[in-house]
């Protein structure tokens, strides 16, 4: 048992969770999920994918503990008017991974919980695997220790040892550069197939399961018809530290791609990769974006900046104990205490 685990257990045992929940009940908790594993994606990308079982347990916990799960639009309107109901929670997803269709959406419907999907659209339109993520998975899952990709080009002429992290890093960097600068999307998918064959990973299974694919445009339309609120996440998943012109255009392209899918105004945004940059706030305002969420843990209040909203990022490595401590506000109070102490320490 870790020190944090022991402290949380003691805090709960002496009634600290009940006190924390009462003290933080007026704050808005925004939950962030990414994808649901179709096979074992969470073992390679614990921050990107969780199992269906873990997601189901989170929803059940919210129901059992009587949290008020509401839509993002309602939450933000109530937050602004200071009419937010106690213990309010918003559920959000980033990217739009294909596992949402068979797993997340049905579970949300059975729970009668609303949710928002911040959808990035380039690969939704292409209907193909997200190259860089699929590549990393293939290399990590290879049963082989060494591979030879000399047939590709000169940088790959020597054998690579997949048990060495530096070889993994080199291969990822060089293959991504090759795919991005010299290949079409079709050629990139063919490259993935070729590499998978070389390292003895079943690419046909990956394709059949639709691993590392995003919901298609038609699937986004259907998801919206089932009540999922589709919102903005840039077209090419371009981070806020990109050039202002490229960042702005990527949101415009994202909005154009999502317009036929969404059933509500495209006025909510999520920063790709959780990378925030105050320099882009004027761009968001210019594009009439009313809210933007980060991946910084914390509760939101009436005085919170609507373009820098906090969210709790749940992932495979987040234990049930940590999830509960975050939801009842115990970790939020701990952060507030640390923030008050820090200035004194620096004097």
Q: Where are the domains of the chain?
A: 3-126+213-345, 131-209
Q: What is the pLDDT of residue 345?
A: 42
Q: What is the pLDDT of residue 347?
A: 37
Q: What is the pLDDT of residue 346?
A: 41
Going by their DSSP bridges, the two strands 68-69 and 88-95 should be labelled as parallel
Q: What is the pLDDT of residue 342?
A: 64
- Its pTM stands at 0.95
SS (H, E, C) 236-294: CCCCCCCCHHHHHHHHHHHHHHHCCCCCCCCCEEECHHHCCCHHHHHHHHHCCCCEEEC
Which residues does the chain have with pLDDT short of 50?
A: 344-347
- State the Cα–Cα distance between residues 239 and 298, nearest whole angstrom: 21
Residue 69 near residue 114 (C-beta atoms within 8 A): yes
Q: What is the pLDDT of residues 40-72, one digit of tens each?
A: 999 999 999 999 999 999 999 999 999 999 999
- Fold that domain 3-126+213-345 belongs to in CATH: TIM Barrel (3.20.20)
């Amino acid at each position: 048992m870790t020190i944090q685990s022991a402290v949380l257990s003691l805090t709960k045992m002496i009634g600290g969770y009940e006190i924390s929940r009462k003290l933080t009940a007026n704050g808005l908790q925004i939950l962030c999920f990414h994808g649901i594993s179709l096979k074992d994606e969470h073992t390679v990308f614990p921050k990107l994918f969780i199992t269906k079982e873990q997601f189901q347990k989170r929803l059940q916990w919210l129901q059992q503990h009587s949290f008020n799960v509401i839509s993002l639009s309602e939450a933000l309107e109530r937050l602004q008017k200071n009419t937010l109901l106690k213990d309010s929670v918003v559920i959000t997803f980033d990217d739009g991974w294909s596992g949402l269709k068979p797993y997340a959406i049905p579970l949300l419907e059975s729970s009668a919980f609303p949710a928002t999907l911040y959808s990035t659209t380039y690969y939704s339109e292409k209907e193909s695997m997200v190259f860089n993520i699929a590549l990393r998975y293939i290399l990590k899952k290879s049963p082989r220790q060494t591979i030879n990709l000399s047939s590709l080009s000169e940088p790959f002429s020597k054998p690579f040892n997949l048990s060495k992290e530096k070889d993994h890093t080199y291969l990822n960097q060089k293959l991504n550069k090759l795919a991005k600068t010299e290949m079409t999307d079709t050629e990139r998918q063919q490259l993935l197939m070729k590499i998978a064959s070389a390292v003895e990973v079943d690419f046909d299974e990956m394709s059949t399961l639709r691993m590392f694919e995003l919901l298609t445009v038609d699937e986004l339309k259907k998801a919206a018809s089932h009540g999922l609120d589709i919102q903005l996440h840039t077209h090419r998943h371009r981070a806020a530290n990109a050039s202002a012109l490229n960042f702005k255009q990527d949101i415009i392209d994202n909005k154009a791609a999502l317009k036929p899918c969404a059933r509500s105004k495209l006025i909510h945004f999520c920063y790709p990769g959780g990378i925030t940059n105050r320099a882009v706030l004027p761009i968001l305002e210019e594009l009439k974006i009313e809210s933007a969420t980060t991946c910084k843990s914390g509760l939101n209040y009436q005085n919170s900046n609507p373009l820098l909203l906090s969210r709790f990022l749940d992932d495979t490595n987040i234990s049930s104990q940590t999830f509960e401590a975050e939801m009842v506000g115990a970790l939020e109070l701990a952060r507030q205490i640390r923030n008050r102490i820090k200035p004194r320490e620096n004097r």
